Structure 1
């Protein structure tokens, strides 16, 4: 009797969890550090005019100072220390005391180490400035590879500790600890707001009065969030907005992918094509040594065209999903929102004065946030506090207007809202761990990442201008898969790309454009982006499912970016 073998249905294969994907990338990054030797640059402070015309400064690398991480040549350095101890003028210039130098000499050549030299202000950079690469024993290139396990206190950083180290890295102003804290506070605040029922009631009141006009909402929202990205570098700020937009967009008949695209992706389209963002184009132009906010007309036209085309791309997808929701990659996970929406609709709750007041309070706080970010420089700590205020006032309003809430419900709702996003906060730390395993993004600290940056920059020397500019764009796009901070990427890459542009006859303005497009577009895809992971967490979308949709849109973005790079070369954008 012949037994038929059951065919495997590839469409029902279980996609890896986001945690699994990140762990695989972490292991790959760790293995890469065994192959790629560590390297570093000396750094310097550069001053430039920011978007407001004020003088700002930024620590950037010096392209010509790249060197591999070598052991110290103790014999050479010890001899130079003996000479230095006899040169009072040089010691005074270096602001080093003769007694400190003599103490190191008394301990002998064998005990000499860079750590001891650092203690008397003779850092690696200082020695390199004095004697060049003669201070190194260049017979061996060192690798900065993390151990399998360990902590800073016991044995040094081990890559299996990447979750904890990633979570506690940075500070309250950025990735990862700052964004993780922001996610938890915002989650708690919206836990209170959702418990009041104001958003549900408002969504249904809006839909009932605008039936047949749903398709106009998507492009209008896309332009609004793109403008936010273009004007003040909107990124982390999108996370709380998404908490409102996801149920709203699903209630219109679309899916959570549309919600994430119309909010976060739109903001990154704006960021990529910005003519005035103080966190990307202004920093990059300042470092490149060209007038800040120059080329604004070209970029403004580019913003309008790219935003319009991107909104059109989204509308084609959105209409396909609205006509057949089962085609959505996230149809199953969206059931959480659909069931909640249906339950609320069946309850037929009226749109009460308390609901209206809460929505007005939310609007007032959102205006307060936009004003604070654009006018006062508010950032993660202030934004988190503002959303906490929003949640607290909403909860108090719900109690006073008897919207089926008590005082204890405010606390419980905050706890539940924060708990819902705890997994997302952990992902932010895990994603940051990838960068730590590669050695970090500090140009002044030896790492595999610095070596990769230097090597790719060297490959562009001597290529034709058109090809060179395009490869710059590709490089900046790939680099953003690891370093997602726009200003951080500018500080790391522009000191290399700007003089490199001169060598291959590419205007520095176009080098900035290549950075801008690459850094902005890929932020909507990379799993290392804390902001993207935060928004996906709010929408309950696994990164793998998001990637299936977004990889096609990334191809669309890449083509648009290539076209505008080519146009810029053709017109000689300066």
Structure 2
């Protein structure tokens, strides 16, 4: 008897979002339409916020003389375009920042700086780990460093072999280093800033708490990596990649990169980069900067880097376009995700869903609420691994939900960034992780054997920080 085997795979992110649009359109026919009343409040600093009037929820008729709230085929087909139009400010921000980074990365200053760091630390043994991971984590936390480390995998694998460690140590330094920066992100424009923008948060009111979280998470990652590296160096055979490393060791040891020249122009570009991050942090803390101001600083940094690298106008423009290309995927995801909200909003079912969830969750301790939100984002990230895409998909609904149950929006953003960052540590769909594993000839199961020793502790710490954010 022949058994029929059914293969199942997660659909492309665009297809998944379009399927969700269809499902939400169907729900507008099934879920009662309703609305809260809203009022504007002026805060002491002069900021105006729109808040829900408690107890004001009321039902609406589906069909009236003014129109039909049930969303049909035409509404489904129009939703992606409407979503992109409504998310134009966020999409523009992503593309401008992506283009600026296209120029910065094309100069090669950051890559050469990391090469030189690796070479200079080669004789320092175990010190390579904390110093390198601190830099990579800071890159992930501040400007969203991720794919930029892919060219460094071969360098660090060679370096780890030379120092007596294994290839997984290199992956921990590079991938865990940058990803833990995403978990404890402070000003990452592709996670925190987008989520805050979608949620309507001005400035970065809990930047101090994010900085503490970054220190704690980075410290945990460094200690774990040093512990793992020490054990492997002392007893190489306990490494889960011991056999595969024997086969590739000679290849990497004979193909180490040569000496890299770190020029004065590279130093200027990196110094300008650090200064730009400092200016952005100052603007967020003291001036309540938003996406326009932050995007302006990044664009200025990109242009400055191009000039220092002696690019002409045409070359800078071409590199800007290349940088935009890298982020078009994320930008379109943001627009499509907003299309889900367009359909739900036009069908007037968002307030109904919020009312139902608030009735269920109302009265829960804040720590229980933020923990549930963290779990929810853990699940969502498996299907939408993009940090910017998930922010655009979830924040329009979850941020107002926090208002209804008395949990500040920053806690909702933290639950999102923790859930997204942690799940991507163990998700099989991460391009940067899979690139590193393939270069080192390491299986995904071997990676899980190592990282799952740290994951539960990181998750518990995330739940604590999310609860503290809500309490503050």
- What is the rounded CA distance, in whole Å, between the counterparts of 2:17 and 2:396 in structure 1? 24
TM-score (norm 1): 0.54
**What residue in structure 2 maps to residue 238 of structure 1?**
144
Distance 1:445 1:61, change over 3 A: farther
1:415 matches 2:342: no
TM-score (norm 2): 0.63
- What is the rounded CA distance, in whole Å, between the counterparts of 1:392 and 1:439 in structure 2? 42
Work out whether residues 414 and 466 of structure 2, in 8 Å CA contact, stay in contact via their aligned partners in 1.
no
- Aligned-residue CA RMSD (Å): 5.7
Q: 1:561 aligns with which of 451, 462, 465?
A: 462
Which deviations, in whole Å up to 9, do the C-alpha atoms of 1:225-245 show, x marking residues without a partner? 76688xxx83xx224x863x4
Work out whether residues 184 and 210 of structure 2, in 8 Å CA contact, stay in contact via their aligned partners in 1.
no
- What is the rounded CA distance, in whole Å, between the counterparts of 1:486 and 1:556 in structure 2? 24
Counterpart secondary structure, 2:48:
strand
Which deviations, in whole Å up to 9, do the C-alpha atoms of 1:421-466 show, x marking residues without a partner? 62x323213422442342349x975465554444322211355776
Work out whether residues 61 and 492 of structure 1, in 8 Å CA contact, stay in contact via their aligned partners in 2.
no
Work out whether residues 177 and 221 of structure 2, in 8 Å CA contact, stay in contact via their aligned partners in 1.
no
1:179 matches 2:94: yes
- What is the rounded CA distance, in whole Å, between the counterparts of 2:136 and 2:111 in structure 1? 22
- What is the rounded CA distance, in whole Å, between the counterparts of 2:348 and 2:254 in structure 1? 53
**What residue in structure 2 maps to residue 45 of structure 1?**
40
Q: Comparing both structures, which one devotes a greater share of its residues to helix? A: 2
**What residue in structure 2 maps to residue 252 of structure 1?**
156
Could you tell me which runs of 5 or more consecutive residues in structure 1 were left unpaired when the two chains were aligned. 75-112, 115-139, 148-154, 397-406, 502-507
Q: 1:457 aligns with which of 358, 365, 369?
A: 358
**What residue in structure 2 maps to residue 71 of structure 1?**
62
- What is the rounded CA distance, in whole Å, between the counterparts of 1:430 and 1:305 in structure 2? 34
**What residue in structure 2 maps to residue 105 of structure 1?**
none
> Which of structures 1 and 2 has the larger relative contact order (alpha carbons within 8 angstroms, sep 6+)?
2
1:515 matches 2:416: no
Distance 1:414 1:560, change over 3 A: same
Aligned residues: 415
Q: 2:119 aligns with which of 208, 214, 218?
A: 208
- What is the rounded CA distance, in whole Å, between the counterparts of 2:341 and 2:16 in structure 1? 14
Cα displacement (A) at 1:256: 6.4
1:26 matches 2:21: no
**What residue in structure 1 maps to residue 47 of structure 2?**
56
Cα displacement (A) at 1:394: 0.7
Work out whether residues 187 and 421 of structure 1, in 8 Å CA contact, stay in contact via their aligned partners in 2.
yes
Distance 1:32 1:393, change over 3 A: same
Cα displacement (A) at 1:370: 1.4
Could you tell me which runs of 5 or more consecutive residues in structure 2 were left unpaired when the two chains were aligned. 158-166, 284-288, 439-443
Cα displacement (A) at 1:46: 3.3
Counterpart secondary structure, 2:341:
coil
Superposed, 1:85-234 pairs within 5 Å as: 113=66, 142-144=69-71, 147=73, 158=77, 162=80, 170-171=87-88, 173-174=89-90, 176-191=91-106, 193-194=107-108, 202-213=113-124, 215-220=126-131, 222-223=133-134, 234=142
Q: 2:180 aligns with which of 247, 258, 265?
A: 265
1:426 matches 2:337: no
Work out whether residues 136 and 177 of structure 2, in 8 Å CA contact, stay in contact via their aligned partners in 1.
yes
Counterpart secondary structure, 1:439:
helix
- What is the rounded CA distance, in whole Å, between the counterparts of 1:217 and 1:279 in structure 2? 33
Cα displacement (A) at 1:359: 1.1
**What residue in structure 2 maps to residue 312 of structure 1?**
223
1:393 matches 2:344: no
